Amino acid sequence: MLGWFKKTFSSESESGEAEKAELVPAVEEVVDNTPAGVDIEETVEPKSILHEDVGVLFQRLTRKMAKTRGSLVKKVDELFLGKKVIDPELLDSLEEILIMADIGAETTMELVDDAREKLARDELSDPLVLRKTLQDKITEYLLSSDTPAELVMPEEGPFVIMVVGVNGVGKTTTIGKMASKFTRDGQKVLLVAADTFRAAAVEQLKIWGERVGVPVIAQDTGADPSAVIFDGLEYAEKRGFDVIIIDTAGRLHTKVNLMEELKKINRVIGKKIPGAPHEVMLVLDATTGQNGISQAREFSKTVEVTGLAMTKLDGTAKGGIIVNICREFDIPIRFIGIGEQVDDLRDFDPAEFAEALFYTEETQG
């Protein structure tokens, strides 16, 4: 799947020098990372993000998910090894494994109860059949939150993405990776540094902007995030940007005043560009396991979360949380983060994910 844009933007800029002179003073700082003398619209070659071989990408995904696979599927395989029949004790052990893999208590209960019923009806005889049933059910859960996965793009004006989440989940990194992805898809991208709490936060976004070659709108530390966003949106509208990605400060979902600030930011965006933000993307860190559920719940009470990004699926054994998130919420997972590098962001493909999770060298021959 080539990203999730339905509409190809015309990318026609109405910008001119006179406009620049009028606009720039309103914005404290614009870090224009477009190479000098280069017109973005004419030179960005829409390049497929799937230029790598699909098989190579899949192998990479399975490698990155090794720990979650180790905590889940490898344990299931060890449990089933040498067993010819399924008995109730085996299902008890399976239940324990699923719980430990952060799949969630209710999801686990559903999965194991389903197996118990099938066993009682003599529909389940062989552990390999149970393994396949598990994979199918997990795929079903992953697919359940995936509709509609694609966003309907505005007919006119820029597509605005507001990125939210608790501290340190990977918002800024995901923004950098998304900016790269959209740029490669031929979109003209602008980043807005609305995390004004820390100077380092603005710096981090600028570094990403430089790395992926997109401009960054920023003001000084302590500036009102809504003001930075307002200026950023104005700047983007006048210059015909296709995609605006807004970085917001990390905030604990339990801190009322910070969550109220998010409402205000959301309102300001909507006033400036009716219908925006078109995407409120909540970033969840897979390593925090079940806490992601309460984060999604609390953020959804404050703003209408329209999409999720699940980061740090590499290096964690708690990747099973993604199954629980899909089961609990009707919010599509747009992307998964499988590393710190620019290419470590993948479109979330539920079937591929389940396949990678259940992949073993032995089953592939």
Ligand X SMILES: Nc1nc2c(ncn2[C@@H]2O[C@H](COP(=O)(O)OP(=O)(O)OP(=O)(O)O)[C@@H](O)[C@H]2O)c(=O)[nH]1
Q: Which does 314 bind (CB under 5 to 8 A by kind): Mg ion, ligand X, none?
A: ligand X
ω into 46 cis (within 30 of 0):
no
Complex with ligand X: residue 167 or 360, whichever CB lies closer: 167
CB-wise, 115 or 164, nearer to Mg ion? 164
Query: How far, in Å, CA of 9 to CA of 42, rounded?
Result: 13
φ/ψ (deg, to 5) at 197: -65, -40
The Cα 258–Cα 285 span in angstroms is 19
Residues 294, 35: Cα–Cα separation, whole Å: 43
Of the pair 49, 308, the CB lying nearest Mg ion is at: 308
For residue 43, give both structure tokens.
């030179």
Residue of minimal Cβ distance to ligand X: 250
Nearer to ligand X, 131 or 171 (CB): 171
Half-sphere exposure of 348 (CA within 13 A, CB side): 27
Instruction: Pick what 15 binds: Mg ion, ligand X, none; C-beta below 5 to 8 Å, kind-dependent.
Output: none
Q: Decide whether 172 or 266 has the Cβ nearer to Mg ion.
A: 172
By CB under 5 A, how many residues form the interface with Mg ion?
A: 2
- At how many degrees (to 10) do helices 321-328 and 291-302 cross? 30
What DSSP letter does each residue of 100-152 carry, written as one string? HTT--HHHHHHHHHHHHHHHHTT----HHHHHHHHHHHHHHHHHHT-TT-SBP
CA 83 – CA 322 distance, rounded (Å) = 29
CA distance 138 to 358: 10
Contact between 316 and 286 (Cβ < 8 Å):
yes
Nearer to ligand X, 108 or 311 (CB): 311
Which residue lies nearer to ligand X by CB, 172 or 306? 172
> Helix 127-144 and helix 321-328: axis angle, to 10°?
50
Report, in Å, the least distance between residue 217 CB and ligand X. 17
Applying CB under 5 A, which part among 10-18, 83-91, 147-155, 165-173 lies near Mg ion?
Answer: 165-173
Residue 277's binding partner out of Mg ion, ligand X, none, with CB under 5 to 8 Å set by partner kind: none
Would you count residue 306 as binding Mg ion (CB under 5 A)?
Answer: no
Interface with ligand X (CB under 6 A): 165, 167-173, 195, 201, 250, 311-312, 314-315, 337-340, 344
- Please tell me the distance from the alpha carbon of residue 137 to that of residue 131, in angstroms, as a whole number: 10
Site for Mg ion in 169-208 (CB under 5 A): 171-172
Tokens standing for residue 195: 């995390």
In the region spanning residues 50 to 109, those forming contacts with Mg ion, defined by CB under 5 A, are none
Q: How far is the CB of 25 from ligand X (least distance, A)?
A: 28
Decide: 183 and 44 in contact? Cβ < 8 Å: yes
Q: x/- binding map, residues 11-40, to Mg ion, per CB under 5 A?
A: ------------------------------
**Residue 272 binds which entry of Mg ion, ligand X, none, CB below 5-8 Å type-dependent:** none
Chain residue at closest Cβ approach to Mg ion: 172
Minimum distance from CB of 237 to ligand X (Å)? 26
The contact set with Mg ion (CB under 5 A) reads: 171-172
